[in-house]
Structure 1
């Protein structure tokens, strides 16, 4: 990597401004996170670094300062993608950091789901990334443009592309989003073609799995996140297929995705309108006139309720952890007092 510069790795003035005279080490970009170490890329090559914090505080795509085999400091992120972790545990799980574009991969078949796309769009908006909807298996569909139109109707800011992930020239249409140091992250269900796209864009071949014919879903082939260089000079982060994407602290992103409803709600007679049977509800009026699909209102309310629940649950867990730590500190202080007496 002797010809690679920091700019080639995705460095920007956002990170330069954070450097101080007291900093120790050289900038390095995290390419993989393991339990006890992180791997990071510098213009000199790849490093393995120990971490001053837990692995959960680092994400693929992060920038750190590296010195003597250790990460001495993590720089503040420009963008951050995270979710509530799967299962019953209540904590935030980092997905990726410093991503320019979030490639939301679905396919022109039974996997296409408006509610799921809105969820991923809220993730992109919350994280500060540009959303790009990538519709794969276009070669297996009679009318892929119908899927493109459905995706584009979700927001005027959306770019949607239908392609055949197995076709090299088709995959190269994604080059503008992962060239010249730009970072593209791919998210979506298993079996929609994320790994195939990664193979085409990076030249690194990883195994792909067949999809089930009854529901168009596939088995997981990507089991971890890695930052890989693309053949056009950018970076790609492929993520494991997500069975569930639970949003947390995403209220602003949800409002952006459903900006038409959020704006319409300001015209309701009551500030706390639940949009059910209240008089003067602008949203119910729009539904009655046929200007608004009631299913869209239901999806908006569902995401808002989920986000409130997940955010509150994680906040409560953090509060309990702080209380426990405070009790331990008090107990240790009392123990030192007794020993001193």
Structure 2
């Protein structure tokens, strides 16, 4: 069933002082990397749609004249582009992604949880209060680097502290590759200070703990209060969950904004390159160590330990690097072992099927 989605996609974009009607797919973030995966005939038979909402048992998809709810698709997440097979929705093809945010899901089964796909910029949000945590910011940045997404640190609640510069300096020291923006999420600053990353057809995401202002920032960009927000607890500055599902919102100016629930646990997996990018200084120093397998603890000729002794590197930064690398190695190895077991199980099933066929099982008489 095709429904009117004009409330999601405004009919015009205001750009450069003039109104310009966008191509519906381009306005949703359609790019050449997606178009190159399909032909004209295939797009006519199975039109491209983007997943804009993920519910427990359904997906909401939007395309050119399409706004529908479909059953879940294996391995799909919010932000994915799908070639919609209306006759057999579960057979719809998910296009290859340009980026993917994922984490190891909470629990003990080492399952991978997909957070969002095809994001251009991720705003890593933290507050200028007790929530501020360098180690957490490093985790989010590593996640973004590994996913090939541009990370930007956004520090909110600047009106609640007299020393915003100190918070900004600590955030900026994490990586020379990551811009730091300070702002008051409740005013006009988000639309102004984040404009460089929020152009027409761009998809951005706000990631961070509950209560740091992700929904408030989305509302500020949208110019409305359509997302419920709640205040933090006064005793420890911890946030309360407001957003309960991952959802893309279209805001004036043409940008799509992903609002996500706060993540209390962010376990990295398959993110070794992203971690090395965050700790580029330590990674470069480690190449100068005497031993290739140097653990940077007591080994002679360790360039990293020498830098710490000279005061060039903070020992706490080295500890955080070690922790993230060890965590990623453990989670990635666990996943590899699970894939190996799945592969072995598949071989066993195929072997049993062959044995049944050889013995005449599975015939009409079975």
Bin of the TM-score, shorter chain as denominator length? over 0.9
Cα drift, residue 320 of structure 1: 1.8
| Map of 1:108 onto structure 2 | 128
1:226 aligns with 2:247: yes
Select 1:311's aligned residue among 328, 332, 336: 332
SS at match of 1:106: strand
| Map of 2:301 onto structure 1 | 280
| Map of 1:175 onto structure 2 | 195
* Structure 1 segment 61-210 matched on structure 2, within 5 A: 61-68=79-86, 70=89, 72-202=92-222, 203-210=224-231
Query: Could you tell me how far apart the structure 1 residues matched to 2:309 and 2:56 are?
Result: 54
Segment drifting more, 38-47 vs 72-81: 38-47
Query: Could you tell me how far apart the structure 2 residues matched to 1:43 and 1:269 are?
Result: 59
Query: Could you tell me how far apart the structure 2 residues matched to 1:242 and 1:37 are?
Result: 22
SS at match of 1:40: strand
Q: Deviations over 1:192-224 (max 9, x none)?
A: 111111122223522222212222111111111
SS at match of 1:117: helix
Segment drifting more, 2-11 vs 132-141: 2-11
| Contact 1:181 1:235 (8 Å CA) reproduced | yes
Q: Unpaired segments of 5 or more residues in structure 2? A: 1-5, 12-20
| Contact 1:211 1:217 (8 Å CA) reproduced | yes
Select 1:334's aligned residue among 319, 344, 355: 355
| Map of 1:44 onto structure 2 | 65
Task: Give TM-score scaled by structure 1 length.
Answer: 0.93
| Map of 2:27 onto structure 1 | 8
SS at match of 1:211: coil
Q: Deviations over 1:77-129 (max 9, x none)?
A: 11111110012121111111111101101000111111111111100000011
| Contact 1:178 1:230 (8 Å CA) reproduced | no
| Map of 2:16 onto structure 1 | none
Cα drift, residue 4 of structure 1: 4.7
SS at match of 1:67: coil
Query: Could you tell me how far apart the structure 2 residues matched to 1:277 and 1:318 are?
Result: 35
| Contact 1:9 1:29 (8 Å CA) reproduced | yes
| Map of 1:26 onto structure 2 | 47
* Structure 1 segment 239-278 matched on structure 2, within 5 A: 239-278=260-299
| Contact 2:82 2:92 (8 Å CA) reproduced | yes
Query: Could you tell me how far apart the structure 2 residues matched to 1:261 and 1:223 are?
Result: 38
Cα drift, residue 153 of structure 1: 1.5
SS at match of 1:19: coil
Task: Give TM-score scaled by structure 2 length.
Answer: 0.87
Q: Unpaired segments of 5 or more residues in structure 1? A: none
Query: Could you tell me how far apart the structure 2 residues matched to 1:63 and 1:218 are?
Result: 32
| Contact 1:164 1:171 (8 Å CA) reproduced | no
Query: Could you tell me how far apart the structure 2 residues matched to 1:66 and 1:37 are?
Result: 14
